[in-house]
Amino acid sequence: MTKKVQIGKTDLYVNPIGFGANAVGGHNLYPNLDEEAGRQMVRTALDHGVNFLDTAFIYGPKRSEELIGDVLKERGNRSEAVIATKAAHVLTDEGEKINNSPAFLKKSVDEALERLQTDYIDLFYIHFPDEETPKDEAVGALQELREAGKIRHIGVSNFSLEQLKEANKDGHVDVFQGEYNLLAREAERELFPFMTAQNISFVPYFPLASGLLTGKYDQTATFDDLRSGLPYFQKDVFASNLEKVEQIRPIAESKGVELAHVVLAWYLTRDAIDVIIPGAKRSEQVLNNLKTLDVTLSQEEINQIDRVFQS
């Protein structure tokens, strides 16, 4: 039985390996997704103790929440899952807009409850900050929903430190989600000190740098998807990033695990991080992510990985 960890100051106890569900019904993110395969990934996760499921309105849009809701309903055991979802996007004929207004957030929570076929959401994030709404007012609206029992805990995502401080003026923010990996460590300097002091838990996305930290690429690799626009894949740094990854391969080989497992295990040694949410496109990948829990890093190995990716 996997030992569950507490997420920050919340009363949520989860497997430290969660499941990022953007490939469950995320048709706007990945072409040709099989919806039944998405439902099966959710079932596989829950069957194997992966109880923290991370989704969002914009995955689909809406469809990821709906498919997770299908599985929750068929299983009839709402308490086995800890559901995190997010909202901020408004879809218009001109494209997407971001809205953090109290009225919008309250409407978004009601609509997410319907799609998830549940009467409460364990963790609800403001997905992106808008430019108009005072952040403490936005979080205040979520606090009202918490008091009404519709959500249990409050998160914000993609906020700057200044926006996070404003959002947490009344101490209501429990969790922050943002980009963080060994090749993008700005959050350590900008966010972690404040969050650790406030006992706000950090949930990283892009933990494997869109596959670069898995060690599966070499210098001949080319990309014509979203990776081509990411900073760690740019020509001027791609080769040096690959070299850094290769420097830690011996650690994985010595433990008989994949590079990804070592990288994910390293994140769990950070004080600000309680749970990680690697994604998957197949049920086997959901199970493979769990092998991270078999990895124990010595202090020397932790320091070595830190040094390699500091430069």
Catalytic residue numbers, as ranges: 59
Which has the closest alpha carbon to 210: 199, 221, 198?
A: 221
Could you give the CA distance from residue 58 to residue 85 in angstroms, rounded to a whole number? Answer: 10
CA 14-156-163 angle, to 5 degrees, is 145
H-state helical runs in the chain: 35-47, 63-75, 102-116, 135-147, 161-167, 186-190, 192-198, 235-255, 259-267, 283-289, 299-308
CA 247-253-257 angle, to 5 degrees, is 115
Side chain identity, residue 212: L
> What residues contact 96, with CB distance under 8 A and at least 6 apart?
58, 89, 90
Which has the closest alpha carbon to 157: 20, 298, 61, 297?
A: 20
- Inter-CA distances, 108 with 63, 73, 78, 134, Å: 14, 20, 20, 18
End-to-end CA distance of the chain: 39
- Inter-CA distances, 211 with 16, 21, 89, 118, Å: 20, 16, 26, 33
Could you give the CA distance from residue 117 to residue 265 in angstroms, rounded to a whole number? Answer: 33
